[in-house]
Amino acid sequence: MLLVAGATALADDTRMPGNGPRVEWVYGYGGWYTEEHPHAAIEAADGGFVVVGESTGATRSRIFVVRTDARGRELFARSYGEGRYNLGNFLLQEADGGFLVAGSWDAGSDAVQEDRVLLRLAPDGEVRATRTYPAPRRDAIEGVTVNADGSITAVGYRDAAQDELNSFIVDTGRAFVMKLTGDLDVVWERHLPGAMFQAFRVQPRTDAPGWAVFGACIGSGEQTRFCLSFTDEEGNAAAPITYGTRNSHPYDFDAANGGGFILTGHVSMCPDGCWDGLLVRVDATGRELWSVSFGEPNGGTPERMFEECYGVRSVPSGGYVTACGSGVEPDNEAHPDDPLNPWRAYVVRVTETGTIQWQASYGSPNTNNAAEFVLPTRDGGYAVFADSDEHGAGEGANIAIYKLAGDPGDPPR
């Protein structure tokens, strides 16, 4: 289905307090259903941006894909999926200029069930192929990578409980890794070790053949932990390595500069569940090198503030950048008119050793904006993809792209 999106461009600087880069432009898209949520994005070969997520209404949701030019002007906006519930979790651009979209697809049965899905799209968003990979109950592909021989490795979860209607932590699922041909046929599928219940992203190993899979594990006290599982070329996985001693929610990782990986998500900092952002740097074997937590970019009582981080990328000139939301959950709004209550699009860059280089939040002070993903761009800046009540045509949450300038002294990439 072709979507009609509302877009607005701003040239003014919409930073809140902080020392991050200025905003060059921001566009909003949405108004299709009640709200839209971006989950991943790429800078396409032509310099534009492509973002995937879901558009959700009261009783159903659709995968959406929006493609823009390099200035954020919409080239197309399309949705995919019928029935009740469909998720768009990840995408990449293929060699012919088209796109591979990973997610979850309503199975069309009387029971509540979603199947794992890959959509192969033409450069204009038209569907070339739809492949589902059925399993019992609720299933999704969360991340994919294309291998040197053209095969595809996919990870995610399967067999999740039917009442878990979200794409965040699905703690009743079973993590899997699956290898596919370039034509999307299954070569093999493996369950990851039992402690890992959800796999979010996959990267080639940097120390041996096989893959590193980042996901969520059950740790001591039944708390969720960041974890990494390393597989061989056939998907046989070693026991996962877990990180941290507190309840934490993992979401994204990337190959680190110089080998190894950078992990992001958030960590619970108080008994009521308030969160700080968290970055963990590991070497190629999964050994932790450092970790850093951060939060309250605009002040506020830490026990009330929630920093929730969902995307991380290595910066080619050095260091790492992560995208988060910073705000107050509804149950903690002791003062509904407090200016700290609205969510901010919160972006943090750290050095190679984990020192915070800059942090800033973006968006108007009285309107919700929460960053979900970030990309270092080829011109030396950053593209931040956010949930937004401020930008776009819809009355609920839309999506926005904040294009940030580069850091002083950093060369174009």
**pLDDT tens by residue, 65-77:** 999 999 999 999 9
Helix (H, G, I), strand (E, B) or coil at 366: coil
| Residue 5 confidence (pLDDT) above 60 | no
Residue pair 358/19 in contact by the 8 Å Cβ criterion: yes
Residue pair 79/1 in contact by the 8 Å Cβ criterion: yes
pLDDT band, residue 346 (cuts 50/70/90): very high
| Residue 329 confidence (pLDDT) above 90 | no
More confident residue, 107 or 347: 347
Residue pair 379/21 in contact by the 8 Å Cβ criterion: no
Average pLDDT for residues 158-164, to the nearest whole number? 77
Average pLDDT, the chain: 89
More confident residue, 5 or 211: 211
According to the model, what pLDDT value does residue 163 have? 64
| Residue 13 confidence (pLDDT) above 60 | no
Residue 272 burial (CB < 10 Å; 0-12/13-18/19+)?
exposed
More confident residue, 304 or 217: 217
The proportion of the chain whose per-residue pLDDT surpasses 70, expressed as a percent, equals: 89
CA neighbor of 262 nearest in space, from 289, 235, 237: 289
b/e for 107-133, b at 16 or more Cβ within 10 A? beeeebbbbbbbbbbebebeeeeebbb
Residue pair 320/256 in contact by the 8 Å Cβ criterion: yes
Contacts of 319 (CB under 8 A, 6+ apart): 257, 349, 350, 351, 352, 357
HSE toward the beta carbon, residue 121, CA cutoff 13 A: 26
Neighbours of 208 (CB within 10 A): 12
Average pLDDT for residues 222-235, to the nearest whole number? 95
Residue pair 99/111 in contact by the 8 Å Cβ criterion: no
Residue range 251-277, pLDDT digits in tens: 999 999 999 999 999 999 887 668 999
According to the model, what pLDDT value does residue 183 have? 97
| Least confident window among 59-63, 67-71, 163-167 | 163-167
| Residue 57 confidence (pLDDT) above 90 | no
CA neighbor of 42 nearest in space, from 375, 321, 309: 375
CA distances from 238 to 196, 213, 216, 256 (A): 11, 11, 15, 21
| Least confident window among 142-151, 161-170, 369-378 | 161-170
pLDDT band, residue 124 (cuts 50/70/90): very high
CA neighbor of 397 nearest in space, from 365, 362, 372, 361: 372
According to the model, what pLDDT value does residue 296 have? 87
DSSP annotation of 221 reads G
Residue pair 279/350 in contact by the 8 Å Cβ criterion: yes
According to the model, what pLDDT value does residue 14 have? 47
| Least confident window among 117-121, 133-137, 287-291 | 133-137
More confident residue, 144 or 304: 144
CA distances from 274 to 45, 57, 142, 301, 389 (A): 39, 28, 25, 10, 23
Residue pair 73/26 in contact by the 8 Å Cβ criterion: no
Residue range 181-208, pLDDT digits in tens: 999 999 999 999 989 999 999 999 989 9
More confident residue, 329 or 244: 244
The proportion of the chain whose per-residue pLDDT surpasses 90, expressed as a percent, equals: 67
